[in-house]
Structure 1
Amino acid sequence: MGLDQYVYTFGVFCKNQFGERLRKLTIDAKFTCPNRDGTLGKGGCTYCNVASFNHEHGTELSIQEQLDQGRERVAGRSSKYIAYFQAYTSTYDEYRVLKTKYDEAIKDPDIVGLCVGTRPDCVSDDVIELLASYQDRGIEVWLELGLQSAKDKTLKRINRGHLMADYIDTVTRARARGIKVCTHLILGLPDEEHQDYLNSLNAVLAAGVDGLKLHPLHIVEGSTMAKAWRNDRMKLLTVEEYAYSVGEMIRHTPKDIIFHRVTAYAKKPMLLAPDWCAFRWNGLVAIVNDLKAKGEQGSYLISKLKVE
């Protein structure tokens, strides 16, 4: 949709590094989350229902079988792939378990990258060294950290179970070892507005980051927020509001930061609202139109924005 003209996308990064756009093959390795298993809590984050982004959670397929299935789904669109441990907290297990699962994924000869999604408070020094060992062997490694907001008040309200300080600590340790970090931010969380999104971006950039994933808040069945939405206690962003904020965030981001994603969608009936999030291209088209109208990235401003 022309996004490559305005931002440094992950597709362009892969093409520069590997000569083609790599496809991510998602893996459900049956991890859990400290916010669900009772360590921190049992309810999970208030927006979360993992089935909304990984319908195969609980699959009995081996990691290799999941890679094979994923490869079939994207047949002909790539010859090299990234193994993406996406579901729940993919660094939350014993070291030997993690190593066994990661090893199984990268032994596939077509896998040239490893992407691990997790929480900022579940990345030990041992895990960082394990990920760095793969990178030292020539595997492209990305650590994806679900921060969502840099505002501690918001993190507590959505029941994340960690604070911004946890994020800064993990980013500092990972990047010191040469591991690339991609940070997830959600726009539209309760009691947050446009200025809060810029504040979170500024805090993430100040901490150090290599990539960003931006998501609109959408309400999915089975989440705590679904109850609030049904009781008319949730105000959700319109596609125009979302595109405006994303455009401004892009214009405040250095050009060497890689955008892995600038929007997201979910499928009905899992998706409850907003309706525009049911279609993959709605958000992207609106964002590209904003960038066309207002210009591409401007110079990065280290502003005096403050995070509460």
Structure 2
Amino acid sequence: MRINHTLRALRCSDAPYIRYASHQIRAFRTTCTFYSGHSRWSKIKHDKAQTDARKSKARQPLSRLITAASKFYGPDPTSNLQLANAIAAAKKQGLPKDFIESAIARGQGVSSSGKPLTSVDIEALFPGDVAVIVECETDNKNRTVQDVKTIIKDHGGSIASILYLFERKGRIEFKKRPNLTEEYVLEAALEAGALDVEDEADSIVVYTEATETKAVATALAASLQAEVESVEVLWTPKSDTLVNATRTAYQLQQWEQFTEKLSYEHGFQRLYTNEQEQVTDA
């Protein structure tokens, strides 16, 4: 078939000869050809989104430190040593000023734009009896809940009421030093009303009732003459609910994709599970 280019537009299905500018050109394919500029721009936007998401994921631990310090001891680093230290650590890692200010604002319960934030926990169950709590802080609760539920369902999970498998606790971290050992901290911690003390790598960690977190941290900092590295309240699985999850290779892939996707979700703060050990079943 011959097509007059000046009379009608070229269709993808037109057969192999094209008349253009009084010349015949052999068409070696019958699929549409698009200008590469559109695809290139789409790729640039896609790559930028992935880069921004990776940066956001890497910044989350520092963000939590700043937010927790702001929440427990106030937004002014000149009178809040924990916040000052967290900000210094963030700056050392090259985090921008607006990111730091946003984390401080979240500690005061507002977004960077000044909108009030709502805390929300989404509960779910995954293969292997793995219970999860997805902790978020958002200025649009309905959107965040719907987005997180979709991510859960798309990666093999189901929405379920599992909150009773966890308990809320305060976590207070002190940096180790020669005379600050687990045994030394334990006595003072019990006197201050703490629940437990653990030795973790470079830190001594004290657990307490969620409502007593700030009071215990303040008391221990004074009695131990030690600087508090971080303070936060989190969900911990009850000891009798821990599981050694067995997953197929496909279920493991789904789980890894789930945690990756979740880390990029707007408002996501932390993922809690009752998983003690992960086993892959071939």
| TM score, norm. by length of structure 2 | 0.27
Q: Which has the larger radius of gyration?
A: 2
Structure of higher RCO (CA pairs closer than 8 Å, 6+ residues apart) = 1
As a proportion of its length, which structure holds more strand? 2
| TM score, norm. by length of structure 1 | 0.25
